Structure 1
Amino acid sequence: MKKKLIYAIMLSTALFMGCSEEFLEGENTNVLTASGIAEYSAIYPELLDGSLNGITSFIIEPYGVSTRHYDFGQKGVDIWTDMVCGDMALSASAYGWYNNTANMVVTTDFTNDVNDIIWQYYYRIISVANSVIASSGGNDAAPETDEGKRILGQAKVYRAYAYFYLVQLFQTAYDPTEEVLPFYNGDVYSLAKVQASVIYDQIVSDLTHSITLLDGYTRDAKNLVDQTIAQGFLAYTYAAMGNYTDAKTMADAVIGAGYTLNTAEELAYPGAGSGFNDLSTSSWIWGYDLTEDLGHQLIDWWGQIDPFTYSYAWAGDYKSIDDLLYSQIPATDVRSSQFGSATGNLQPINKFFDPGRTIGGQYVITTDLILMRVEEFYLLSAESAAMSGNEAAAKATMIELLTNRMGSADATTYISALSGQDLIDEIYLQTRIELWGEGKSYLAMKRNQATVTRGTNHVYRAGESFSYDSDEMSFQIPESEINNNPSITGQN
């Protein structure tokens, strides 16, 4: 009974601490704290595993921190970022859930609830990860058992993942000296914002350590983080810092991990067409197997994106590829057939779809959720090589990626003619095309210091241009944090 009680308390409460004073200072007596977990973890080691499983579930949890219909974890963030950077157009709005995102209210008004949802989501993951790390011996621990290494390694991946996204979303542009976020790593408590360098140093340290800790670990399912996912996030982190040499090294490590590129048939219906809805797809590195017993229905990423699912994308809130971006996909490229009219213009009806393909047909969602796939790292490796002046490597990687999309001859001819900034720009364009709807375009926009121009099919602000470092392109520290944290008095 005692074991069950501790486990239940930890899972039900540990995810509900934010970054405000309650999170960073003092202890809530209703929450099983790090010291409390540590007291029992030697007797009940499953406590730590339960904490990790709590994070794993939380990443795709509907209503994770609110009762809002766009609150469903990381995939909710993916929609917000794709829409802010303009590659995802809100092309029709019947229910209004994404009006403030599409109209750039979210990113310019700190009182908008989207900022609060994002903030709470990532800081709650950090809170639980910190507890697991503290209970595993702290930041500098060196576990002797394989189980201890796995637990500490996974906790550090989760903490790094959360801090990585926070600094991407809430910092206008990479500046290591800018004070950006409150920070807590178990050793350092800071209600005040710390310099970005502190955040990035922690991310790099966590991921570097986790890569060592998770060496040799073989996971049971793709929703569990492992060494390859740690290498992937470290590649993204180095690239965000402008360290393209190390970014390429890490991206190439992911490429060498055994995952294979999508076949031409997997890229779009009516081919095999399962490359974006099935966890077993060989390109998927990190994803979730949605089954009926999980009970995902209306409030889910699929409901917001797929018109074949009974939810908003069918009922009038259409999410489409920006028509200006779409116009840059050659008709001979199989990815041009990923989009079309089901109930609205240029929806991803042949990329993301329930296999039943009945409009509004999938009620209980069993199509799977993708968070990371190997194609990302072909693109990131090529980008890193081009940014470092290694154009031969960049071209070779891009030709390999594009061969299944446009054919070997066309891919070779197309890429071989490019050099300098034209090559860099093309890799950025291909990143936007390849990863549309997967939440990665926003990260690429900031890395490439791009200016984005919206096409004509946006309900709001069609035709407008936004620089990567404009106010509209980053999120705001939420009103709840400013009200509850005396060390933060405003956005700057």
Structure 2
Amino acid sequence: MKFNYKNICLAALAACSVTACDLDTAPTTSLEANAVFKNLENADRVIRGSWNYIFNSGSTYASIGYGAIMINDDFAGSDVVRTTSYGYSSSYNLTNGYGRGEINDVMWDMVYDPINNCNAVIKNIDGISGDQTEKNRIKGQAYATRGFLYMLLASHYSFAIDKDPDAVCVPIYTEPTDYDMATTGKPAASVSEVYEQALNDLKWGYDLIPEDYNRGSNATDQYKIDHTVVTGLRARASLYARKWEDAYKYADEAMKLKNSYLMSEAEYKSGFNNALNKEWMWGYSCTLDDNLPAYNFYYKDTTTPGGGYTNFNTDPYFKELFDKNDYRRDLFKWGLNTGYGECAMLNYKFLFADINNMLGDVIMMRVAEMYLIKTEAAAHISGKTGEAQTLLKELRDARMKEGFESPAVTATGDELLKEIWLERRKELWGEGFSLTDIIRNQQSVERKKFEKYAMADITHDSKGQEIRTPKLDENGDVILAPEDASDEYKEKNCMLISGHPTLKFPDGSDFEVNSKYYLFRITEKEELQNQNLYNDHPKLSIYR
């Protein structure tokens, strides 16, 4: 963990230099706490600066802040196929977290530096004169931010809480670091303790942030945690910690706060790039002066002309999980990606809002996730199976094309849970939940080989080079070569299309549940600097 002794972490204090975009990306020099916390505006800037750091810190273009963590988590799962361009190869091959790759190191600093800032706000704000309601709001956002970050740690650095509640996770810091703490460090807490800290922080945030606090209608303010967001975070953290009654309660409350609004087909297909979307509860919006987080779209947008890496593609088997009349199915089509011209099943879910100025907003929470949390929690609560079935069908119906209805949900018990988990994969594809769900549900990555010959449209570029693109039918599905087609026919008229290139763990073993390859690993520098790291909970045997 990076320490700055008695000073507040300065990377996160970048917002003390206010610019038109509210979140300046350039770090400032070190500032003493008593100089920073002289008024409420400066305290508020610390929170704004913390979120600036969460979204802008990183070591490469493929590791820019929290957006990169979400992309990493989807590449590490079952349903995103990576084509051969720059970025996220170690994420897709599952060597990043366990192998302490760049995303792992970025995650550690990205989380602990802002935690230290939140600790400073919580400690100092009561001594600042000013309006008590405003104090409560700022303090509540500090607690909520810290709770979100501890939830992020708990869900990545340990297996599911019910596998081993006492397993080592990460250190918990609730005070600004001082010299003694910086030179010794705190012991790592258990996964149960880290989740408990996250849940307590989110409760304090929930109690302190005024229900009538309005972050405004500007897209660039939608990252600020209001009462609706902290309610949704309580639902999410409770789900991960397997506290079903609380997950149900807060998901239900969050849905009501947003009038249970679900996107229309047109909204769903508009590119997932607008923080003012009525279903979005929480998002990070970029501007011309603050567009670095939107660089992530160069990986996720595979279809917009002028795109860069465009390697965030789809498992062909995944598309087949959707009902033929589900409009989400239309978001996945075979073609040549715009970056490297590789044939893949492209995704049309994520599109630049403005590629010329590198703009696109980052989704962090929306109402559909609350539906799914409430549904999963209900499936675990005695007497609520029927409600879980109804909620699942309601969400599915909302994703059907006009005039169509989804089939009735009749599954119960474990089979119902499997349907809910599958719906999470379908609805939240590409939004950063894949790896977390695999860990918390003690599931395995599922990838299988896909290689088929498709009929091809054949054209030529300006240099006369042949270009083959798969032919699609009226539904956007690929037209396969006749089963009895000869090799000569295939060579002349067809092209080979494929899915996942990586089908095993890095050591050559088959994918399995509770693998070390799913986990982020405590960084080497933390193990070297923190004398007390494993005093309370031993290092996991898989890392010895």
* TM-score under structure 2 length normalisation: 0.75
Q: Distance in 2 between matches of 1:265 and 1:65?
A: 34
Partner SS, residue 185 of structure 1? coil
What does residue range 144-293 of structure 1 map to in structure 2 within 5 Å?
145-174=132-161, 175-186=164-175, 191-214=186-209, 215-220=211-216, 221-258=221-258, 260-268=261-269, 273-274=270-271, 276-293=272-289
Shift of 1:465: 5.2
Q: Deviations over 1:104-158 (max 9, x none)?
A: 2113323x222111111111121111111111249xx9x9711000000000011
**In the superposition, relative to structure 1, how do residues 277 and 441 fare at CA in structure 2: closer, same or farther (>3 Å)?**
same
Q: In the alignment, is the contact (CA less than 8 A) between 1:339 and 1:348 conserved in 2?
A: yes
The alignment status of 1:49 with 2:44, answered yes or no, reads yes
| AA at the equivalent of 1:345 | A
Look up the match of 2:394.
Answer: 400
2:444 corresponds in structure 1 to 451
Aligned partner of 1:347: which letter? L
- Cα pair 1:93 1:459 within 8 Å, conserved: no
| 1:467 pairs with one of 505, 512, 517 | 512
Pair 1:70–1:181, CA change in 2 (3 A): same
Match of 1:93? 84
Query: Hey, what's the Cα distance between the residues in 2 that align with 1:412 and 1:309?
Result: 31
Structure 1 CA distance, aligned partners of 2:446 and 2:98? 18
The amino acid that maps onto 1:264 is E
Displaced runs of 4 or more, over 6 A: none
- AA aligned to 1:105 is T
Q: Identity over aligned residues, as a percent?
A: 26
Alpha-carbon shift at residue 447 of structure 1 (Å): 3.1
User: In structure 2, the residue corresponding to 1:58 is in which secondary structure?
Assistant: helix
- Residues 127 and 163 (structure 1), Cα distance of their counterparts in 2 relative to 1, 3 Å cut: same
The answer to whether the Cα contact below 8 Å between 1:451 and 1:465 also exists between their aligned partners in 2 is no
Deviation at 1:309, TM superposition (A): 5.5
Which range is displaced more, 129-138 or 462-471?
Answer: 462-471
Write the distance in 1 (CA, Å) between the matches of 2:418 and 2:411.
Answer: 10
Q: Which amino acid aligns with 1:305?
A: K
Distance of aligned partners of 1:13 and 1:425 in 2 relative to their CA distance in 1, 3 Å threshold = closer
In the alignment, what sits opposite 1:478?
523
User: Could you tell me how far apart the structure 2 residues matched to 1:290 and 1:315 are?
Assistant: 18
Compared with structure 1, are the counterparts of its residues 317 and 39 closer, same or farther at alpha carbon in structure 2 (3 Å cutoff)? Answer: closer
Note closer, same or farther for the CA distance 1:455–1:177 as it changes in structure 2 (3 Å cut).
Answer: same
Q: CA deviation at 1:37?
A: 2.4
1:304 aligns with 2:296: no
CA 1:424–1:355 in 2, change beyond 3 Å: closer, same or farther? same
Quick one: structure 1 residues 308 and 135, their matched pair in 2 at CA, closer, same or farther if it must change by over 3 Å? farther
Alignment of 1:374-453 (within 5 A): 374-389=367-382, 390-406=384-400, 411-415=405-409, 417-453=410-446
Deviation track 1:222-278 (CA, whole Å, cap 9, x = no partner) reads: 12111111111111111112111111001111101125101122222xxxx25x122
Query: Given that residues 38 and 134 in structure 1 are in contact (C-alpha distance below 8 angstroms), is that contact kept between their aligned partners in structure 2?
Result: no
- Secondary structure of the residue that 1:169 maps to in structure 2? coil
Whether the 8 Å CA contact 2:116–2:176 is kept in 1: the answer is: no
Question: In structure 1, how many angstroms separate the alpha carbons of the residues matched to 2:405 and 2:132?
Answer: 48
Partners of 1:418 and 1:407 in 2: CA distance: 23
Amino acid at match of 2:525: S
Note the residue ranges of structure 1 that are not aligned, 5 or more in a row: 1-8, 17-29, 357-361
Match of 2:26 in 1: none
Measure how far apart 1:10 and its partner are.
6.2
Cα deviation, 1:42-101, whole Å, max 9, x if unaligned, reads x4322211101102222321xx142x12121111000111111222221x1133x22212
Which blocks of at least 5 consecutive residues in structure 2 are unaligned? Answer: 1-6, 15-28, 338-342, 450-498
In structure 2, what is the equivalent of residue 80 of structure 1? 72
**Larger displacement relative to structure 2 (376-385 or 234-243):** 234-243
Tell me if 1:130 matches 2:125.
no
**Alignment CA distance shift 1:353-1:187 (3 Å):** closer
Larger Rg: 2
Separation in 2, partners of 1:245, 1:411: 30
Aligned mates of 2:48, 2:154 — CA distance in 1:
24
Q: Give the secondary structure class of the aligned counterpart of 1:242.
A: coil
**Preserved CA contact (<8 Å) 2:74 2:434:** yes
Residue aligned with 1:370, SS? strand
**Corresponding residue number in structure 1 for 2:331:** 338
Q: After superposing the two structures, state which structure 1 stretch, 391-400 or 451-460, moved more.
A: 451-460
Question: 2:9 & 2:107 partners in 1: Cα distance?
Answer: 20
SS of equivalent residue, structure 2 residue 407: helix
**1:191-243 CA distances to partner (integer Å, 9 max, x unpaired)?**
22122232222111111111111132121231211111111111111111211
SS at match of 2:48: helix
Corresponding position of 1:3: none
Aligned twin of 1:22: none
Residue 465 of structure 2 aligns with which residue? none
- Computed over aligned residues only, the root mean square deviation of the Cα atoms, in angstroms, reads 2.8
Change (3 A) 1:149 1:468: farther
Q: Is the 8 A contact 1:152 1:213 kept in 2?
A: yes
Contact (CA 8 Å) 2:71, 2:430: kept in 1 or not? yes
How many residues matched? 444
Q: Deviations over 1:25-52 (max 9, x none)?
A: xxxxx743xxx424652x4322211101
